């Protein structure tokens, strides 16, 4: 055989060897027998990669399988955990804490891997470390990519800093709104007061409530170095660039407290299910309308926000703003968004998007909701089709979530491994799942999805029935707003009173003791001397008959839990009973 023929034969053998190797099924690790407690579509399986590593948030998986996850707050300056599967059984064997963060305690808000760098962020800062081949823990110096110079950044819980990168050398960063709905914070605080109107025009839109674009190749940036790419977006915790249509996508958290602040226009049921949480396609110049408008997923349209004259039906200037790709139920708290580009899952998942919902905190008196990972199908042109689907469920560990703390796990972060597996992190215990598909991809269809569709009937997923699902129990968030509106002037925001006429609520048996007496005082008032913690006070407590039962129940639930207490919540039914049959004095 000639040298040329021999060389040709060798090349053919190499090509055939590669074809055979590439055509082999992906060797996936064994799943947990119970799928780590998750409910998934047919032939999907899961295993627990790691458990109980601390309150974690977002997650990023490197090409070599190493996992990087953020702790909610740094511990001794170490806010990131690196995980490596040494023996290839799918479980993390090496678990190392690291990080060099100068702004300890500001909370983790994002982690990403881009162009060989690991990016981590807090509300104030974005950092990066060069990841060298073979290293689990980066030995490179920590670089400061961006610093938020807003002096009030520590008080703004919407100012998260997830990062996303396009294919043109740009980095995208959101700057969230300091207030709930652009109220005058000097007068009303960040969450507003009953009847409170929004500022018009909203001054926050100058430097907040939007997404800014930066040069991804530069460090030492501030907001002034960026370009305002989009506006009218209250709060973004998850973003991703979709190469399919070369567009940025973000999940937005809607405003709160419709019934508490506007009880004459919105029922407690409307406040529980509205406004929509949204998946937004964000292009240059888009405006999603915050604070002037919100998206109603039931009516499938933008409507005027009540702080600007809306009543749930009026459209007005809301017609001027962009509408989302899809609207989800209110207050589900979307934390992360991830487009699927792998080959492991069935074809219907190609180019579609997964969304992780952390779950609501402010739906009372209706049950809390969310706490799942859903999927939104996209077509080959990058457009959403159909409705959202339940993809992963079982995180709550209970059938009904009355209080947020009832949920055992709360989904937080999403990331795709190089083999197409989906990784899910959660924020309560520090658990990470790896979701895999081991069935016949060509036979996946409606049968495999049917059981997940039935999961929508669960209390924490379905739309609550107005009136029927109302638990009539006061809640902390509404209670805080109402307390600061009606009670803080005398008892002070810290509940310690004025040390003169008005008694403290902290450590007071008037608060933690007989609930009947406490409800009666708020309803009907009290005049005359009162002794609290050994000191006598002689102020006037006015009656509050004008407040509805649920409002009083919420105020008293707040004070009984807020000021160092863990007393039982107050029911609106109990308030109503005492209102109808006053206590004899």
Q: The domain containing residue 562 runs over which residues?
A: 476-580
Q: What is the pLDDT of residues 346-385, one digit of tens each?
A: 999 998 999 999 999 989 999 999 999 999 999 877 788 8
Predicted local distance difference test score (pLDDT) of residue 584: 62
What percent of the chain clears pLDDT 70, i.e. is strictly above it?
A: 94
Predicted local distance difference test score (pLDDT) of residue 24: 46
486 in a structural domain: yes
- In angstroms, the CA 169 to CA 215 distance is 6
Compute the average pLDDT of residues 444-452: 93
Across the chain, what does the average pLDDT equal? 91
Task: Evaluate whether 340 touches 350 at the Cβ level (below 8 Å).
Answer: yes
Predicted local distance difference test score (pLDDT) of residue 25: 54
Report the CATH number at residue 576: 1.10.760.10
- In angstroms, the CA 355 to CA 336 distance is 6
Find, among 68, 84, 65, the residue nearest to 27 by Cα.
65
Out of 59-63, 98-102, 260-264, pick the least confident: 98-102
DSSP letter string, 387-438 = --EEEEB--S-SS--SSGGG-S--EEEEEE-TTS-EEEEESSS--EEEEEE-
What percent of the chain clears pLDDT 90, i.e. is strictly above it?
A: 77
Give the pLDDT band (50/70/90) at residue 331. Answer: very high
Task: Evaluate whether 123 touches 153 at the Cβ level (below 8 Å).
Answer: yes
As given in the structure block, the two tokens for residue 175 are 């700057």
- In angstroms, the CA 403 to CA 58 distance is 23
Task: Evaluate whether 332 touches 322 at the Cβ level (below 8 Å).
Answer: no
401 in a structural domain: no
Q: How many domains are there within the chain?
A: 1
Q: Pick 215 or 109 by higher pLDDT.
A: 215
pLDDT at 6 over 50: no
pLDDT at 569 over 80: yes
Out of 8-12, 261-265, 346-350, pick the least confident: 8-12
564 in a structural domain: yes
Length of the chain counted residue by residue: 585
> Dihedral of the CA atoms 125, 129, 135, 139 (nearest 10)?
-100
pLDDT at 103 over 50: yes
Predicted local distance difference test score (pLDDT) of residue 262: 94
- In angstroms, the CA 169 to CA 218 distance is 10
Give the pLDDT band (50/70/90) at residue 477. Answer: confident
pTM listed for this prediction:
0.91
Find, among 143, 96, 97, 91, the residue nearest to 116 by Cα.
143
Predicted local distance difference test score (pLDDT) of residue 114: 97
Q: What is the pLDDT of residues 485-519, one digit of tens each?
A: 999 999 999 999 988 889 999 999 999 999 999 99
585 in a structural domain: no
Which positions ≥6 away from 217 have C-beta within 8 Å?
A: 169
Predicted local distance difference test score (pLDDT) of residue 131: 96
549 in a structural domain: yes
322 in a structural domain: no
pLDDT at 12 over 60: no
Task: Evaluate whether 333 touches 460 at the Cβ level (below 8 Å).
Answer: no
Q: What is the pLDDT of residues 214-246, one digit of tens each?
A: 999 999 999 999 999 999 999 999 999 999 999
In b/e form, how buried is each residue of 173-204, taking b as 16+ CB within 10 angstroms?
Answer: bbbbbbbbbbbebeebbbbbbbebbbbeebeb
Task: Evaluate whether 393 touches 433 at the Cβ level (below 8 Å).
Answer: no
Predicted local distance difference test score (pLDDT) of residue 4: 46
**Residue with the two structure tokens 């492991």:** 344
pLDDT at 573 over 70: yes
194 in a structural domain: no
283 in a structural domain: no
**Residue with the two structure tokens 């450590």:** 507
Which positions ≥6 away from 133 have C-beta within 8 Å?
A: none
pLDDT at 58 over 60: yes
Out of 71-80, 103-112, 178-187, 527-536, pick the least confident: 103-112
- In angstroms, the CA 286 to CA 231 distance is 6
Give the pLDDT band (50/70/90) at residue 104. Answer: low
Cβ atoms within 10 Å, residue 529: 8
Predicted local distance difference test score (pLDDT) of residue 101: 65
Find, among 439, 341, 433, the residue nearest to 392 by Cα.
433
Give the pLDDT band (50/70/90) at residue 187. Answer: confident
């Amino acid at each position: 055989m000639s040298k040329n023929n021999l060389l040709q034969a060798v090349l053919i053998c190499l090509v055939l060897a590669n074809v055979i190797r590439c055509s082999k099924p992906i060797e996936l690790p064994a799943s947990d027998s119970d799928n780590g407690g998750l409910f998934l579509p047919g032939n999907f399986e899961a295993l627990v990669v790691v458990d109980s590593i601390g309150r974690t948030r977002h997650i990023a998986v490197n090409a070599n399988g190493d996992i990087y996850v953020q702790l909610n707050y740094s511990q001794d300056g170490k806010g990131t955990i690196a995980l490596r599967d040494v023996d290839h059984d799918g479980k993390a064997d090496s678990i190392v804490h690291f990080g060099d963060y100068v702004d300890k305690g500001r909370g983790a808000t994002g982690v990403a891997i881009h162009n060989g760098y690991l990016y981590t962020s807090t509300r104030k800062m974005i950092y990066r470390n060069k990841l060298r081949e073979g290293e689990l823990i980066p030995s490179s110096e920590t670089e400061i990519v961006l610093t938020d110079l807003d002096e009030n950044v520590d008080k703004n819980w919407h100012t998260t800093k997830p990062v996303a990168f396009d294919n043109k050398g740009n980095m995208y960063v959101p700057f969230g709104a300091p207030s709930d709905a652009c109220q005058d914070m000097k007068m009303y605080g960040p969450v507003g007061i009953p009847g409170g109107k929004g500022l018009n025009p909203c001054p926050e839109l100058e430097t907040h409530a939007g997404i800014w674009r930066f040069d991804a190749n530069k460090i030492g940036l501030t907001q002034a170095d960026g370009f305002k790419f989009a506006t009218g977006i209250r709060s973004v915790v998850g973003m991703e660039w979709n190469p399919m249509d070369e567009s940025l996508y973000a999940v937005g958290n809607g405003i709160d407290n419709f019934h508490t602040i506007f009880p004459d226009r919105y029922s407690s049921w409307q406040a529980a299910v509205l406004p929509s949480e949204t998946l937004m396609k964000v292009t240059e110049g888009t405006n999603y309308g915050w604070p002037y408008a919100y998206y109603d997923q039931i009516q499938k349209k933008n409507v005027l926000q009540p702080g600007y004259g809306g009543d749930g039906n009026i459209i007005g200037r809301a017609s001027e703003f962009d509408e989302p790709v899809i609207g989800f139920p209110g207050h589900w708290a979307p934390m992360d968004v991830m487009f699927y580009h792998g080959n492991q899952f069935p074809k219907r998942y190609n180019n579609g998007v997964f969304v992780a919902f952390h779950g609501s905190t402010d739906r009372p008196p209706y049950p809390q909701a969310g706490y799942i990972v859903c999927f939104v199908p996209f077509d080959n042109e990058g457009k959403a089709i159909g409705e959202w689907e339940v993809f992963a469920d079982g995180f709550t560990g209970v059938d009904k979530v009355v209080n947020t703390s009832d949920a055992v796990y709360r989904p937080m972060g999403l990331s795709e491994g190089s083999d197409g597996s989906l990784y899910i992190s959660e924020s309560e215990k520090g658990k990470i799942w790896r979701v895999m598909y081991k069935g016949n991809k060509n036979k996946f269809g409606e049968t495999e999805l049917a059981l997940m569709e039935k999961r929508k009937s669960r209390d924490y997923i379905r739309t609550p029935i107005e009136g029927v699902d109302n638990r009539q129990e006061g809640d902390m968030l509404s209670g805080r707003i109402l307390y600061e509106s009606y009670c803080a002037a005398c008892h002070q925001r810290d509940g310690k009173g004025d040390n003169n006429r008005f008694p403290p609520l902290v450590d007071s048996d008037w608060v933690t003791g007989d609930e009947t007496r406490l409800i009666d005082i708020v309803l009907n008032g009290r005049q005359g001397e009162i002794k609290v913690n050994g000191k006598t006070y002689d102020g006037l407590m006015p009656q509050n008959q004008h407040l509805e039962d649920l409002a009083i129940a919420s105020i008293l639930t707040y004070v009984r839990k807020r000021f160092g207490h863990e007393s039982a919540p107050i029911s609106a039914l109990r308030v109503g009973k005492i209102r109808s049959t006053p206590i004899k004095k």
